[in-house]
Amino acid sequence: MSETGSRVIVALDFPEEQKALQLVDQLEPSLCHLKVGKEMFTRLGPGFVESLSVRGFAVFLDLKFHDIPNTVAAACDAAADLGVWMINLHASGGRRMMETARERLERHAQRPKLVAVTILTSLSREDIAEVGFHGTPAENVFRLAHLTKSAGLDGVVCSPREAGAIRAAVGGDFLLVTPGVRPKDAAADDQRRVMTPGEAIAAGSSYLVVGRPITAAADPLAALRQINADVTESTLSADK
Ligand code: C5P
């Protein structure tokens, strides 16, 4: 489980292994992490994750576990055995589920970082009301971010738009992993409310999840290097 200094996580959303590996072979493990989600993991299984680790990449296994505490803890244990760098679960699975998962990971000498999804950004106020959550999505995001922190997890996945307020509420020592990032002048694709890499870092993001601006670029390595440069510039200007 190598850890790179980069704050970029490249989302591998490909229907086929060969296409994914073609892209991966153009990237460098020292310049990014890789995210494997439900589609690729379900099609290709743990062997695919191992093939990325063998190439030296730190992998975020984005399977968003949500089940009874023992089952989620066992799934996290299995992910840790695979040697991944980061895993996630749904905070709405509750405190006991999160605490049990975190405790199970402590058995691992090199434990993966464990982060939670609060409220999916695809859900509107009406959607969450229908499943029994009161208040606005933002209110629920903050409540679940606090719960995640008090359950001892490492951080949350959130919109870069929420990052500043969550950072102010929960403090510095908490990872904010943010998708919805687009370099200036890049296509928004199906993302609605995007931020540039520099803006997301300035808002308090710890890691940026970036897919198509890198995976669909004519020169993926150049696109990744440019995003890393934007991140560095934003970090340096914040330190001034
Ligand atoms: O290609 P793009 O940069 O839009 O990819 C973003 C990645 O982050 C995808 O894997 C997507 O599923 C994931 N994601 C997201 N928005 C969320 C949660 C996850 O875009 N709220």
What is the position in ligand 1's atom list of the atom closest to the CA of 13?
10
pLDDT band for 50, please (50, 70, 90 cuts). Answer: very high
Structural domain total, the chain: 1
Between the CA of 159 and the centroid of ligand 1 the distance, in Å, is 10
Separation of 125 CA from ligand 1 center, angstroms? Answer: 20
Please report, rounded to a whole number, the percentage of residues in the chain having pLDDT higher than 70.
98
Integer Cα distance of 222 and 77 in angstroms: 36
User: Which residues form the domain of 151?
Assistant: 8-239
Question: Looking at the domain assignment, is residue 157 inside a domain?
Answer: yes
pLDDT at 240 over 70: no
Residue 36 structure tokens: 């494997």
pLDDT at 3: 62
The model's pLDDT over 159-212, given as tens digits with 9 standing for 90+, comes to: 999 999 999 999 889 999 999 999 998 999 998 889 999 999 999 999 999 999
Question: Per the domain annotation, does 185 fall within a domain?
Answer: yes
Buried b (16+ CB within 10 A) or exposed e, 124-141: eeeebeeeebeeebbebb
Return the CATH number at 216.
3.20.20.70
Q: Which amino acid is at 14?
A: F
Encode pLDDT of 116-167 as tens digits. Answer: 999 999 999 999 999 999 999 999 999 999 999 999 999 999 999 999 999 9
Provide residues with CB under 6 Å of ligand 1.
11, 13, 37, 121, 179-180, 189, 191, 209-212
Q: For residue 2, is it within any domain?
A: no
- Residue 19 annotated as part of some ligand binding site: no
- Cβ-contact 73, 103 below 8 angstroms: yes
Q: What is the pLDDT of residues 73-123, one digit of tens each?
A: 999 999 999 999 999 999 999 999 999 999 999 999 999 999 999 999 999
The residue assigned the tokens 């990449």 is: 57
Give the predicted TM-score (pTM) of the model. Answer: 0.96
Lowest-pLDDT range, 3-17, 27-41, 96-110? 3-17
d(CA 151, CA 101): 10
